[in-house]
A and B are shown apart, each in its own frame.
Chain A
């Protein structure tokens, strides 16, 4: 598939935004501005950007504990994300959710999720709802290789296939469920073969090549939108950081430095930059300018988060129920 210059530029902007946002989190987390857990998406940017570039604003996604990339790609505003990560009242969830629960129904983000696989049945239900309401909305369900062993993966795919629902299951196989390698946690290499059991198409693709991700998800999303049912896409990728920012030695207890470096060589952003330069979509100087613009936006988000107030004590009792 030949992407237009404009499409490539948009993908590039999204991927750089995700990368620089996450790099900022590393710094802010280390300096104690961000409490709790932060599971970073660095190294996997091509998946979120490539998939979400095919979605409309009214389409839905369900995300995971490693969700910053998905929600940025679906159109979330950095300042509200950052404020949420700081636990501030101005954040997406008024500081009640944090990194693992960012949601904005208005842009179709049905929530990151702290439970591995937790979003899978919810995505299936959103797709069921679209079908019942006779809209042509599509739901994309992100999850990892670890979640593919959970019962809800099988329950969700089964339900979606029985009802031919407009949902695309995107498995980000980053080779580890926290510290347990794929070899240790499942006896298959290609998770996409599990699609056969649910009578839906399944493909395994290079998750570090945004053009490949874009093309595969474009077909699956169109298929879902046309009422032809669900697809399982497995994107082979890798997380560069530890499971979360507090992971001892950033995940070097269970991975070799050689392995990490090998995957850093396959950087999805570097790959796209080579293509962009090769096809003369942008010059090096233009690329740097884009980076600078995004850095300024992220600094603005940080400033917004810093200057925002924490929730008031009385806020603890708000939003338990819809009143």
Chain B
């Protein structure tokens, strides 16, 4: 390496170190679970049930993020022919609904990279999301689904406790303008989701999800995930999706390429121009 090239590399590294320091000051949206404390007792409500309240962040161990097929071999979803057609439609004729400020719904929010916040009461629990969306789930004993619920993005959600597990059973979903995950996989209005939420210890929340959709999937499949507790002073902030959504007019259809590891994005992006050496 020539002396000039060495100087360029050194100045570039110095600039990158400066930028990495700035980035390091940002509180990460994800946590490395190997560094999260384990085993601290679960907080409980006055009625003895686990308190699921907290500001919950994904972990870097969740891979591939954003893919509802995360737990399936090769991330291969069991699509029916109608499901294959719906996926093709999503990829070639729809922009990401969340990018045009449509609610992601369930189970997509459980596959999101964004943190969420839970507040639990005696008869209801609320899950609050960035984008200023929330879902409020009653778990009063004896609740039953409606015969013909109005379709919605979160569905008609009914909760119940099974021991220390909060079970949320949801039907009545929308069929249009929904992606089941960030990779544009589909779901239909036949979707039935059963979430089983637990708090294994103070610093973790976990969900086991059963996803049934006989129109678009040949068999039920599961999706599980663990999140870690954020800092005590962290919480959901204002996030008005429609305030200045300039990018909506520039978005192409679908999520773009999906990498071999199951995540969205380019495999080999062109490098940026080298940083400008500090004068």
Q: Judge: A and B partners, yes or no.
A: no
